[in-house]
Structure 1
Amino acid sequence: MTTYQATGLTGPEPTPTVSVKPLVLPDPRRGEDLHVRVSAPVTGTGLPVVLFAHGFGSDLDGYAPLVDHWASRGFVVVRATHLDSKRLGLAADDPRRPRMWRQRVRDMRHILDELGTLEASVPGLADRVDHSRVVAAGHSFGGQTAGILVGLRVKDPDTGTAEDLSDPRVMASIQLATAGKGGDELTPFAHENLPWLRDQDFSHITAPGLVVAGDRDDLPLSTRGPAWTTDPYTLSHGNKSLLTVHGAEHFLGGISGYRSAETTDEDPARVALVQQVTLAYLRHITGIDHTDWERAQKVLTDGHPLGRLESK
């Protein structure tokens, strides 16, 4: 039995893909040009887009286990290197650091503005992308970025205001191992080093979304333990689903890379579960096919060894 079969789920067979990097989008206000990577299937038309935001410190090469899975099964996946990336190495006193959370959202909007340019820069991709079907996805810090694009309100530590930075071009979100609400639940470390987590309001999120959480993701950012990462599901509104991955820590078995040393709970079966459920959700929410998502909802009930899927 293969790892994929062990989940009890189904999905389409992979097809060849093409991946092009770096595609450079000038951005003088940013202080660094925005470097982007696009991965896409070599065949097919009307391809939906996944706008993926990496976790803190990663870059446009991260999360290949997810990106390869999605791209080989019909999605154009766009990744960027955000200012917090270790690849850029911003100094500790760089004045851009306190507003990195906000610049990430600007990066994503810039990509959406230049989606046609990016599409034309990938050999054979021109006129094959459906710009009306865009899903924002992200892991950890990137999950907050994806959430903001669909309505998450973050109180700016500098101004004390919480603006609506959502983008109507984004139809849904996938948030993986993402921070919950702030307030008294944050640890002193989080208060001091991650001020953009102090006050998050999920109540304005009404767009469809899938939240993925590990039930052993005990981050040093909150006093609530792993349940903290389910807040994007429990505190938001609209059509939402939650995949709880049993035994999973922050990297959900190893989604950040095929050879990632940062994974503390390496498990190919957990990665396969996240791959298959997220793909089934993407195909469902973009209207491609509902069969695999319906099967996942039936299979991943109480008692499944890998995880549980619930919806509201």
Structure 2
Amino acid sequence: MKTYDGPASDHFNGLHFFDPDGAPPKPLRELLRWQLGGGRQRAKWPMWAPSPHADIPPERIEGDNVRLSFVGHASWLIQAGGLNILVDPVWSMRVSPVAWAGPKRHNDPGIAFEKLPKIDVVLVSHGHYDHLDIATLSRLTKNFAPRVVTPLGNDVTMRSRDSTIKVEAFDWHDRVELGGGIAVHLVPTRHWTARGMFDRNKALWASFVLETPAGKIYVVCDSGYGDGRHFRRVADKHGPLRLAILPIGAYEPRWFMRDQHMNPEDAVKALLDCGAEQALGHHHGTFQLTDEAIDAPAKALVEALDAAKIPQERFVAMKPGQVVEI
């Protein structure tokens, strides 16, 4: 089934999207080798690992300030210019095609859904279940009817499940005005997407660069590092960056995950490549998607920063409910 119907381009061949500077997803046999092969060392996470933080955000943030609240995994509330923007919102208990199996939460969202202010805009980076959560999007639509901005093809995924979602789809390098002096650029990222076994890369994936009154914020929801060219290109085209939100988890085993997820050492390289003044680490500690321990990304980030002689305060691993203001 075709998810996106549009002209071919330098990253779309008429049926599948691709990254000219990336790597295709691993074939099924490699997935089975990881999941079922002998010698797998999967760390055991605690059943529940509550965050010491919980946020009740204000209704709006006006003026030149930006307030960022970490919901968990890759979900954020960004408040700026009088707008309330959610990134990859997931309030569901599982990130899976079914409600009874698949990766399950190990802590509550950093903001209780009932404590959300009115949501104006939602950004959805790609179609993987830990980023595109139809149940949450439907709930947001029912309560707030926000504008949903996503890369090409993911609009079809959303509408096929809930026709009331107010979704708009855009291509890499598009700039979208959101209002209040805020705009978002969709930029290439080293990843892929699918909802099942037969729709790999039939929708597009992206990272975001937000123009805000406090400067540009680079939001990377999922990415491998590769040779770093994606991050250097963002620096060249969109710099200087005030802040980068970078993934630091879901990276073991490296032979399988390297092309699609960064580890903390990669994330530190990405920070240096994109040149952001400061970085926040996410995509860790909520859903066990891979083999590393729940606290391994935060510990490895400290070591990677020390090795690169970067001050610890420049790149902080976030916990759900933590807030940063710039």
**TM-score computed with the length of structure 2 as normaliser:** 0.34
Flag the structure with more relative contact order, 1 or 2, with Cα contacts below 8 A and sequence separation at least 6.
2
**Higher helix content, 1 or 2:** 1
